[in-house]
Amino acid sequence: MKRTIQLGQDLPILGSDVVASGPYHAIACDSKGCTSTAFQVLPSSPARLSFLVHPSRVPVSAANAINATALVFDRFHNTVLAPTTVEFHFSSEGATAYTRSLTTLRGIAWLRVGSTSKQGPLRVVASVGETAEPRVIQQVASEACGLRMQAISLPRSVTLQTDPIRDCSGNPLPDGTVVSFTKIDDAGRSTVDIPIKKGVATTQFSVSGRARISLACGVVLGNEISIGGPRR
């Protein structure tokens, strides 16, 4: 800003003219030259939060899988350098809600927590005074646990169906998750990928002679079934 002034008069500076914190220089010039003085504008009180939570989806019961970082600003978006307490509140259906309080360092507070054992939304709210920023993380079922299938043998084929597929905490794996059935028989090796539908995966193989059929979902192996005679 630039103003023409009269000597001997006060020079009011509006707050709206110095919304950015930091050092300023006031330079006064006349026909003989210029002179200057410096002054410092400090951040105001905490009024804004920038809150980042990662990831947006996380498997259940995963230790230290959730990162939350809060940056504290005043209402003019200057970083609040003074140590400030930020509260992080975690809540989800079927789990006990809890709060962690942290003090900022250079305007930043962060923490790492694990997910709960129940799938569903986990609500995370960071707050400073009256300012609160909510975020939601989707907790999804983890890897399959106790993966098993049943077989119904027909004259030249076999129908396979898994038991309801759940993780070790009892959360059903979402429909669309791929399950792989692999058959090895006299005709060779054959694998088919089937998405889970209504909690189970179903497929049918034609069988030539004796066959061995195995099951996998992600990194988890299920049971193995032999059909058409004793296993070699």
Partner 1 sequence: MTQRPHILRCLGLLVLACLTLVSYSDFSASSVHASSLPRVTLNAESIGPRPIEHRTGETVTRDYAQAWQDLAESLDANRTDLLDDYFTGEARSRLTQRISEQQKIGLRTRYVDHGHQVKAVFYSPDGGEMQLEDQAQIEVQVLDGQNTIHITNSSHKYLVLMTPGADRWYVRSLEPVPDDAF
Structure tokens at 211: 């066959």
Q: Which helix (DSSP H) or strand (DSSP E) does residue 199 occupy? A: none
Helix (H, G, I), strand (E, B) or coil at 151: strand
Given the complex with partner 1, which of 100 and 197 has the nearer CB atom?
A: 100
Per-position DSSP letters for 9-25, written without gaps between them: S-----GGG--S-EEEE
Q: How far apart are CA 212 and CA 11, in angstroms?
A: 91
Given the complex with partner 1, which of 2 and 189 has the nearer CB atom?
A: 2
Q: Could you list the residues that contact partner 1 (CB under 8 A)?
A: 1-7, 11, 13, 17-18, 20-31, 34, 36, 38, 40, 42, 52, 54-55, 67, 69, 71, 77-79, 81, 105-108, 110, 112
Residue 194, Cβ density class (10 Å: 0-12 exposed, 13-18 middle, ≥19 buried): middle
Given the complex with partner 1, which of 114 and 164 has the nearer CB atom?
A: 114
- Nearest approach in angstroms of CB 1 to partner 1 is 5
- Nearest approach in angstroms of CB 218 to partner 1 is 23
- Nearest approach in angstroms of CB 202 to partner 1 is 39
- Nearest approach in angstroms of CB 197 to partner 1 is 34
Helix (H, G, I), strand (E, B) or coil at 75: coil
Q: How far apart are CA 192 and CA 178, in angstroms?
A: 10
Cis, peptide link before residue 55, omega less than 30° from 0: yes
- Nearest approach in angstroms of CB 62 to partner 1 is 14
- Nearest approach in angstroms of CB 18 to partner 1 is 7
Closest CA to 180 of 189, 170, 191: 191
Pair 194, 164: CB distance under 8 Å? no
Given the complex with partner 1, which of 69 and 202 has the nearer CB atom?
A: 69
Given the complex with partner 1, which of 22 and 174 has the nearer CB atom?
A: 22
- Nearest approach in angstroms of CB 83 to partner 1 is 13
Pair 121, 66: CB distance under 8 Å? no
Given the complex with partner 1, which of 69 and 214 has the nearer CB atom?
A: 69
Residue 129, Cβ density class (10 Å: 0-12 exposed, 13-18 middle, ≥19 buried): middle
Given the complex with partner 1, which of 82 and 154 has the nearer CB atom?
A: 82
